[in-house]
């Protein structure tokens, strides 16, 4: 238990984003915790009970009351505790007592605290760092707090009620300072002083917005390490696709470039602060490390994601926060964005009305709702209609919908227009409205609706699901029709979510890979086609002792090149095999007398049910052109073992070049799917076709190659049916003249050879 707190604690307003994690943490520490709230949010009561918190009304036997700042002194429980002269603690005051004796990492600022705190938590978890934490919100699929008995504590520090003055951190992050909470801080100077004082009480490192450097006036002679982001540490970002970014820091405080699942300047800055904090705590960040941030409720959350409609929601309610978030939203050609905004508190709306109108002027279309009161009485100049008038001066495409009418009907009708993205902003009931709208949209599409709903939980602004996507240009044969739905997941969580959603809906899943060794049917593909083409799937991780973990999306050519660079010998024979590692593993592809499983130690794969499994080579059933475990699964990565871990890169490169030249001399350059038939036992399909004189045979735009008889090439304009007819022809002649049964090696994607060859 916390020594300065009694055993029995009652948490009042425990459904709030800050109070709920605190109640759970106190219970985990060992206190007997009870909790109540007038209106527990989604799953809040269930979560509290599952963590040992007693959900019940106030009991006079409790020894301390911890309450939300939104609770008025007139509340019966508050009055009884005050009369009994028992401890009354606001959330921040209780958190300060917890932090005593801890190495506190304080996340502070006017906005962005929750996002940055969640990023830091996920980064430290990825690095295996031992720490306690208290998030000021709820994760979608992770505990909002954790007591691990560590000396380190990561927590958000709130300035709104003045409890910021109770903390003396070891590491402080000051993300920004924009005058807010005007009822407490009458002037901008008073507001800034709260953060400046926090920085002065910090004993180790202060990480802050570089634009504040002159005002904070860091003491260069003190033992405190002052790091101004954008000044002492300059971030650089490079898009990696689907909302992922390569992010690094240069300058006085440099950090390696890492890959993370966020985009937009606001997210880059928050992530940079989190990475610097993790580094200041003593963790080691490696070049190319991958950090997948978990989804947090009410923070850049996607509720529905289809090829035609997207629904997002975010808590942003301060002008600068709104502007930063809108800048994160990618402007996709052909898509229209509708922003639905609900201002928070009448007092804030009155004071920031013009600034809010300026930030919302960025909106293509704007829908304003009534102000979310948050226990305040209406104030002249701070009403929803007042904000509407201010916005109308800057944006003609704005409308106002009062609570009496409700916006769902209007928004549902608007969502019927193609390529529409609806974003709910504000600290009010945007999450509830987003859920209602998404439920209606999901019910509208009986086949795919729930899939769009499920995948939304792991989607970002840039994750696109495509309908009727052409597949010919995604294959080496360059033939075939379209995919009913097409997805390039950018993380394991997205892949598993898609697989589980398809399983539940009875929708077939077809992994595509790099599109070699297959022919797409002209009729196209029913179901969901998945392709692991994002950089997330192309990792090359050295494990030591000649071993490396390789992502299934890695191109074989890139794999061989990287192995040569690292001096790993024995993979050279793979050079020239078209496609990615996942497809090569599935087919146990080989060349130059070797097979891929000759160099595999283990593989990790996902079943089509969404279960992740790992298997050693000795436990796998594989042979010529097959691996049974991967026939109905998707390879994720594999551990390769080099026969020589200290090879000379130049020598390895020369061997690769030799194999490459042999391939160029013996294989056609035109588009093809690779070897079309499996080799019969003890023979060669190419030799048989050559002896039969079938080279040069043509059907439509397809031809049996003059260079290699086991290749069918696309001379231009070929169809899948042309290829199938040539396969039938070669099989028929081989059977009639040689008595040999030729079996296709390539996959008939979207159909089955048994049906096509009838």
What sections of 100-145 are H helices per DSSP? 113-126
Neighbours of 254 (CB within 10 A): 12
DSSP state at residue 293: P
Neighbours of 167 (CB within 10 A): 21
CA pair distance 9, 14, nearest whole angstrom? 12
Nearest CA to 435 out of 299, 302, 294 is that of: 302
- Give the tokens for residue 427: 């600290």
Per-residue CA distances from 84 to 13, 32, 77, 420 (Å): 20, 19, 11, 57
CA pair distance 511, 537, nearest whole angstrom? 14
CB of 516 closer than 8 Å to CB of 480: no
Could you give the angle at which helices 19-29 and 91-99 cross, rounded to 10 degrees? 40
CA angle in degrees (0–180, nearest 5) for 299-300-305: 135
* Unique residue bearing structure tokens 């759970």: 24
Q: What is the chain's alpha carbon radius of gyration, rounded to the nearest angstrom?
A: 30
Counted residue by residue, the chain has a size of 758
DSSP state at residue 617: G
Per-residue CA distances from 608 to 503, 529, 603, 620 (Å): 7, 12, 16, 18
Per-residue CA distances from 276 to 136, 266, 741 (Å): 20, 16, 64
What sections of 281-366 are H helices per DSSP? 319-328, 346-360
- Give the tokens for residue 189: 């100077």
Residue 60 belongs to what H/E stretch?
A: none
CA angle in degrees (0–180, nearest 5) for 215-217-220: 160
Judged on CB neighbours under 10 Å (0-12, 13-18, 19+), 682 is: exposed
Q: What are phi and psi for residue 610, nearest 5 degrees?
A: 90, 20
Residue 335 belongs to what H/E stretch?
A: none
Q: What amino acid positions are annotated as catalytic residues?
A: 625, 675, 745
Neighbours of 418 (CB within 10 A): 11
CB of 748 closer than 8 Å to CB of 521: yes
What are the DSSP E strand ranges found in 353-408? 365-369, 398-401
Q: How is the chain split among helix, strand and coil, in percent rounded to 5?
A: 35, 25, 40
CA pair distance 449, 463, nearest whole angstrom? 17
Per-residue CA distances from 300 to 259, 314, 437, 459 (Å): 19, 5, 17, 10
DSSP state at residue 253: S
Q: What are phi and psi for residue 442, nearest 5 degrees?
A: -65, -40
CB of 424 closer than 8 Å to CB of 433: yes
């Amino acid at each position: 238990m916390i020594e300065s707190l009694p055993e029995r604690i009652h948490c009042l307003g425990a459904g709030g984003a800050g109070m709920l994690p605190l109640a759970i943490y106190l219970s985990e520490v060992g206190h007997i915790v009870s909790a109540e709230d007038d209106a527990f949010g989604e799953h809040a009561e269930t979560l509290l009970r599952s963590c040992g918190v007693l959900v019940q009304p106030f009991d006079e036997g409790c020894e301390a009351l911890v309450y939300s700042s939104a609770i008025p002194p007139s509340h019966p429980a508050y009055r009884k505790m005050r009369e009994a002269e028992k401890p009354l603690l606001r959330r921040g005051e209780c958190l300060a007592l917890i932090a005593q004796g801890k190495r506190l990492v304080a996340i502070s600022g006017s906005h962005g605290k929750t996002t940055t705190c969640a990023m830091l938590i996920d980064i430290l978890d990825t690095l295996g760092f031992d720490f306690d934490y208290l998030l000021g919100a709820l994760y979608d699929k992770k505990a909002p707090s954790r007591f691990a008995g560590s000396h380190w504590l990561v927590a958000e520090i709130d300035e709104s009620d003045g409890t910021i003055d109770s903390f003396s951190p070891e590491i402080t992050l000051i993300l920004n300072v924009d005058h807010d909470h005007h009822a407490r801080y009458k002037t901008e100077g008073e507001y800034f002083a709260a953060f400046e004082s926090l920085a002065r009480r910090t004993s180790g490192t202060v990480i802050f917005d570089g634009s504040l450097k002159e005002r904070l006036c860091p003491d260069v002679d003190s033992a405190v390490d002052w790091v101004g982001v954008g000044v002492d540490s300059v971030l650089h970002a490079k898009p990696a696709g689907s909302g992922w970014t390569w992010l690094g820091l240069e300058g006085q405080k440099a950090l390696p470039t890492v890959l993370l699942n966020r985009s937009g300047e606001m997210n880059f800055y928050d992530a940079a602060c989190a990475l610097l904090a993790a580094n200041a705590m003593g963790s080691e960040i490696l070049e190319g490390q991958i950090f997948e941030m978990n989804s947090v409720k009410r923070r850049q959350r996607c509720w529905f994601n289809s090829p035609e409609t997207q629904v997002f929601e975010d808590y942003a309610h301060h002008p600068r926060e709104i502007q930063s978030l809108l800048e994160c939203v990618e402007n996709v050609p052909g898509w229209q964005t509708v922003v639905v905004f609900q201002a928070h508190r009448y007092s804030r709306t009155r004071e920031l009305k013009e600034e809010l109108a300026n930030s919302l002027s960025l909106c293509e279309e704007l829908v304003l709702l009534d102000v979310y009161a948050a226990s305040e009485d209406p104030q002249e100049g701070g009403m929803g209609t007042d904000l509407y008038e201010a916005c109308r001066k800057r944006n003609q495409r704005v409308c106002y919908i009062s609570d009496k009418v409700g916006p769902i009907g209007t928004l549902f009708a608007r969502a019927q227009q193609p390529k529409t993205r609806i974003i709910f902003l504000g600290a009010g009931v945007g999450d509830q409205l987003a859920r209602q709208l998404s439920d209606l949209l999901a019910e509208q599409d009986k086949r795919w609706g729930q899939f769009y709903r499920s995948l939304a939980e792991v989607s970002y602004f840039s994750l696109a699901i495509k309908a009727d996507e052409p597949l010919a240009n995604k294959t080496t044969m360059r033939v075939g029709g379209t995919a009913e739905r097409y997805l390039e997941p950018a993380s394991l969580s997205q892949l598993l979510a898609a697989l589980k959603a398809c399983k539940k809906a009875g929708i077939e899943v077809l992994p595509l890979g790099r599109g070699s060794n297959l022919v797409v049917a002209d009729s196209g593909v029913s179901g969901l086609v998945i392709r692991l083409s994002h950089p997330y799937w192309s990792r090359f991780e050295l494990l030591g002792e000649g071993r490396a973990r390789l992502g299934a999306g890695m191109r074989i050519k890139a794999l061989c090149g990287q192995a040569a660079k690292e001096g790993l010998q024995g993979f050279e024979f793979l050079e020239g095999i078209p496609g990615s590692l996942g497809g090569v593993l599935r087919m146990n592809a080989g060349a130059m007398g070797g097979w891929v499983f000759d160099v595999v130690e283990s593989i990790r794969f996902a079943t089509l049910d969404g279960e992740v499994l790992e298997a050693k080579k000795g436990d796998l059933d594989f042979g010529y052109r097959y691996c049974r475990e991967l026939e109905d699964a998707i390879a994720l990565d594999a551990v390769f073992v080099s026969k020589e871990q200290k090879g000379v890169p130049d020598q390895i490169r020369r061997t690769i070049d030799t194999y490459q030249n042999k391939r160029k001399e013996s294989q056609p350059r035109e588009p093809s799917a690779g070897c079309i038939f499996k080799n019969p036992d003890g023979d060669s399909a190419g030799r048989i076709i050559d002896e039969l004189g079938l080279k040069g045979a043509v059907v439509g735009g397809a031809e049996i190659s003059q260079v290699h008889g086991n290749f069918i090439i696309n001379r231009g304009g070929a169809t899948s049916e042309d290829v199938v007819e040539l396969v039938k022809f070669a099989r028929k002649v081989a059977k009639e003249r040689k008595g040999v049964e030729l079996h296709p090696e390539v996959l008939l994607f979207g159909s089955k050879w048994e049906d096509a060859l009838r």
